[in-house]
Chains A and B, each alone.
Chain A
């Protein structure tokens, strides 16, 4: 199944080296998707623990504290590195 990935906030540099979609086995979970993304990062880098995670419009926590859930084909995985500019 195909999962669309959207990077926002301070994740722009990340988005330039990461795919905009993932092909995962049917029934794969959110944790599997995040693990697949992490495996694509350069060595010694990781998605920020505070990075917000949402699946098709529903908040799922952060990369550091995420409630795992099954994904469906066509889901949009949104990764927002928190912003605080005032």
Chain B
């Protein structure tokens, strides 16, 4: 699991324990795991059909600092999959109002907004400031930019994506699993206007948050190094064990690992 500075969290207050009472216990989180969430920092980019529900789940669960990055305005055609904003925000930027809405959900966490997509330099700086990156971008270029930053900083990257009624979810831990460039050695073609239904994007966003919560809290078995394919159109659910590439230009030479618990690197 990622190395998280628990000193920043101290202990959970009685109010926090009351708030999270239903998610602390057998089969869910331990108190220590909840404290680890409180001390954790996560970058979510972007805040669309996948990233919005993911960020919402992280905030509700008590992840201490959630940084939401998204540039550009909300369009009418986006509304079929937004959980953080509605028609009143069409034409406006998303990150700030979405972060404001998220902040109202949980006073025990901090939500920050970045009103643009980070470039490579900013992505690397942000990666070094967080414990995990949730990649929910609509382009492979952005996803691979985040992957490069995650590998360089040694922080896990959770890649959640969808097309039509299909979703893929990957939990990639530098130094322990394949990275996104191992999976996509060739740049896949860009498709600007992909088909999407809100139910599938929200589903994979929530599952991405779930993997993040398990990884950060150290509770539950993480899907590290696996691709989870959810083909809701065909009713198919498949997992694939991913293989790292020795010749990967991003992680193949000497992948860094910020995680310190090498015997149990992914919190299983």
Contact = CB atoms under 8 A, between A and B. Distances in A.
Q: Do A and B bind each other?
A: yes
Interface of A: 6, 8-10, 12, 48-50, 52, 54, 57-62, 64-65, 67, 78, 80-86
Interface string B171-212: 000000010000111111111001010000100000000000
13 contacts: A6-B238, A9-B163, A10-B191, A58-B243, A62-B186, A80-B168, A82-B140, A82-B188, A85-B162, A86-B46, A86-B49, A86-B162, A86-B201
A58 B225 CA distance: 11
Interface string B228-254: 010101101011111101000000000
A66 B267 CA distance: 31
Contacts of A50: 184, 186-189
Contacts of B194: 83-85
A83 B167 contact: yes
A12 B196 CA distance: 14
Nearest to A83: B163
A8 B231 contact: yes
Given A9-B168, A86-B51, 16 more contacts: A8-B229, A8-B231, A12-B164, A49-B186, A58-B243, A60-B243, A62-B186, A65-B186, A67-B243, A78-B229, A78-B240, A81-B163, A81-B188, A84-B190, A85-B50, A85-B201
Given A54-B240, A57-B239, A78-B238, A85 B49 contact: yes
Nearest to B137: A86
Given A49-B186, A52-B183, A59-B240, A10 B46 contact: no
Nearest to A10: B163
A57 B226 CA distance: 10
B143 A84 contact: yes
B39 to A, nearest CB: 27
Given A8-B231, A80-B168, A86 B136 contact: yes
A61 B243 contact: yes
B187 to A, nearest CB: 7
B46 A83 contact: no
Given A6-B236, A9-B166, A10-B163, A59 B243 contact: yes
Nearest to B183: A52
Contact of A84 (B49, B140, B164, B239): B140
Given A50-B186, A59-B242, A59-B243, A86 B227 contact: no
